[in-house]
Amino acid sequence: MLTGKTVNLGVIGWPIAHSLSPVLQNEAIAKAGIDYVYTALPVKPEDLAAAVKGLRALQFRGFNVTIPHKSTIMPLLDEIDEDARRIGAVNTVVNHDGHLKGYNTDVTGFIGALLANGFNPKGKNAVILGAGGAAHAVVWGLIKAGVTSLTIGVRNPQKAQSLVERFADVMSIRVFHWGDPAFVPFLQQTDLIVNTTPLGMTPNTNATPPVDWSQVKESAFVYDIIYTPALTRFLVDALRHGHSVLNGEAMLIGQGAAALKRWTGIEPDAEAMTKALHSWLTTTH
C-alpha cells in the first residue's frame, strides 16, 4: 500500500512504455518488504533538464536512465561516478539529499553475469561485436576485469574510432570490419565473444552478426547481451559448434539489482526478479 511515507523511484526515457524495469524493481521491492515504489516516467529529450530539476524537487530517492538520455543527462548531475565517466553514459542516479550522482550499473551486471556463469575474463582474449552504447560498458567492464586483449568487429570501423579513443589510455583496442580476413586470426585466438549489437533481437530474430564459427575454438565462451529471444540465432549457431553460451538476462537483472542496492542499501532478491522477468516474457510474447 502506498502511503505518505512511500519513497519514490523511477526510470526516465523516451519512449518508456516498453521498459521492464518497473516489473523487476517492484518485485524486488515487494520481496524486501520496504516502503518504496518504482514507476516509468516518459521524458521527451527537450524536457530532460526540467525533468531532472523536478525529480530533485520531488525528492525522488533515485531513478534509472535509458535511451535517449544516458549521455545527455550527465551535465545536469552534480557528480559522476568513475564507471559512468569512463563509459560516457549514466543509467542510474542516486539523490543524496538533493545531490544527484550518476552511476553506470551495466558494468556490474555484465561482469557479474560472466563470473556467475563460470567465466573469469582476467588474462583472457576477448572479441566484441558492435561499438554502440552497450559496447562501451562491455569494453570498460572487461578492461576492469583484466582482459589481456580486446578486438572489435563491426560493420563500420570508422564509427568505432570514438570507442577506441575513449579507452586508449588504458588499452590498445583493435578494430576490424567483421568481414575482413585480418579479423580471422583474432577470432581464432579469442576466449570470449560478446555480441553487443541488436542483431537477432525480437522481432528481427533471423538477423545475426556474421561469425565464421569454424574459425572459433570450441572452448571460447559466447555471450549475447540480447534477452528476447532467450536464444538468438547467434547463440543457437554457437551452441551448434559446441560453445558455452549466455544471454543478456542475467546482465539485465544484475544492473537493476545494483541500482536498487544503491538506492536502498539492501541486497535485492535476484531470483525473484528473474522469475518476474520470465513471467512477464511468457505472458506478453
Instruction: Determine the residue type at 224.
Output: D
The CA dihedral of 181, 140, 160, 133, to the nearest 10 degrees, is 120
Q: Which of 40, 34, 61 is nearest to 268 (CA)?
A: 34
Could you tell me the pLDDT band of residue 284, with boundaries at 50, 70 and 90?
low
SS3 105: coil
106-116 vs 249-264: helix crossing angle, rounded to 10: 120
Which CATH number fits the domain 120-243, given the four candidates 3.40.50.720, 3.40.50.12280, 3.90.79.10, 3.40.50.880?
3.40.50.720
Q: Which residues contact 241 (CB under 8 A, 6 or more apart)?
A: 213, 214, 216, 218
Is the Cα torsion angle 235, 278, 42, 267 positive or negative in sign?
negative
Class of domain 7-105+250-284 (CATH, top level): alpha beta
**What radius of gyration do the chain's Cα atoms show?**
19
Residue 57 CA to residue 257 CA, distance in Å, equals 25
Burial of 214 (0-12, 13-18, 19+ CB in 10 A): exposed
Catalytic residue among 31, 70, 101, 159: 70
* 70 is known as an active-site residue: yes
pTM over 0.75: yes
Question: CA 113, CA 166: separation in Å to the nearest integer?
Answer: 24
Q: For 43-115, where are the E strands, in sequence order?
A: 62-65, 79-80, 92-96, 99-103
* Lowest-confidence region among 46-60, 103-117, 232-246, 271-285: 271-285
Res 182: pLDDT: 97
Report pLDDT digits (tens) over 128-168: 999 999 999 999 999 999 999 999 999 999 999 999 999 99
DSSP letter for 16, please. Answer: -
User: How many Å apart are CA 200 and CA 269, to the nearest integer?
Assistant: 29
pLDDT at 242: 97
Neighbours of 209 (CB within 10 A): 21
**Predicted local confidence at residue 263, as pLDDT:** 98
- pLDDT of 84 reads 97
Q: Domain map of the chain by residue range?
A: 7-105+250-284, 120-243
**Taking residues 57-65, what's their average pLDDT?**
97
pLDDT of residue 163: 95
Shared fold status for 7-105+250-284 and 120-243:
yes
